[in-house]
Amino acid sequence: MRMIQRTSLFCTLLGVLVLLANAKQESKGWINLYEANSTKGWTPRAKVESFESVDGELHLFSKVNVWVLSDLQMKDFVVEGEVKIPLDYKGFNSGLGFRLAGDQGKPKGYQCEIDQIKPAAIYGIGLGGWIYPNKQTAGEYAQRVQGLFDPNSWNHFRVRCLGPNAKTFLNGKIVAEANDLVEAKGSFGIQHHGKGGLVRFRNLRARPL
C-alpha cells in the first residue's frame, strides 16, 4: 500500500513539475508590441483622426478604413491582445492583422476579425476574402463562436501561425482554423473600418515560434 501511495505521489509531483516547466517556457520570448506611453514602431497607412497610447492602451479613431502597421515583422508566431470596441455603431469593424505586406496604403495579408458578426474569423486582405468560415465551415464556426464575444467588455484575441497553418482563439476558446496560408514574414496591424467611435487595444504582444 505504501509503495502505491509513494508511486502516486511521485507521479503527481512529476506532473506538477511538467506543468510548471511548460508555463515557464510559455512565458519566454514575448515581445510587447508597443511602449506604455508611445506609438513608436507603428505607422498609420491612411489618415486617422487619432492614434495614441493612453494609460497603457492603444487608442485608434478614424473616419476612413485604415490599417496601422507595426515595424516588427514575424513569420511564425503567437500574437495576442485584448480589444474593447465602441458601442455607438453596431456594425463596428476592426481587426488584428498578421503577415501583412506592402509599403504603403492598404496592406495584403491576413486578419483576425474583431466585430460582433464574425469575431475571430480569418480574412484574407487582398487574398480572396473569407478563409474561415466558408460555406463548408459556417455551421462549425457558428457553434464554436456562440456566446464568446461580449461587446460590453474587453475580449481577448490570440492568433497562432506556423507555416501554412493558423488558428485563432477568442477568450481562450479556439474559433478559426486555416491550413493554406501564404508562408511569408510580415507585420502585425490594427484596424479601424471608418465607422463608429474609438477602439481600444491593450496587452498586445507576440513571440516567435
23 band by pLDDT with thresholds 50, 70 and 90: very low
pLDDT tens per residue across span 81-118: 999 999 999 999 999 999 999 989 999 999 999 999 99
Q: Which CATH superfamily is domain 33-208 in?
A: Exo-inulinase; domain 1 (2.60.120.560)
pLDDT tens per residue across span 112-158: 999 999 999 999 999 999 999 999 999 999 999 999 999 999 999 99
Task: Decide if pLDDT at 10 tops 70.
Answer: no
Each domain of the chain, given as residue ranges in start order, spans 33-208
What does DSSP say about strands 31-32 and 50-54: parallel, antiparallel, or unpaired? unpaired
- Give residue 3's pLDDT: 59
What's the CA gap between 77 and 182, in Å, rounded? 14
Among 119, 118, 83, 123, residue whose Cα is nearest residue 107: 123
pLDDT tens per residue across span 43-83: 999 999 999 999 999 999 999 999 999 999 999 999 999 99
27 band by pLDDT with thresholds 50, 70 and 90: low
Task: Decide if pLDDT at 188 tops 50.
Answer: yes
pTM: 0.86
Which residues, 6+ apart, have CB-to-CB distance to 64 below 8 Å? 46, 47, 194
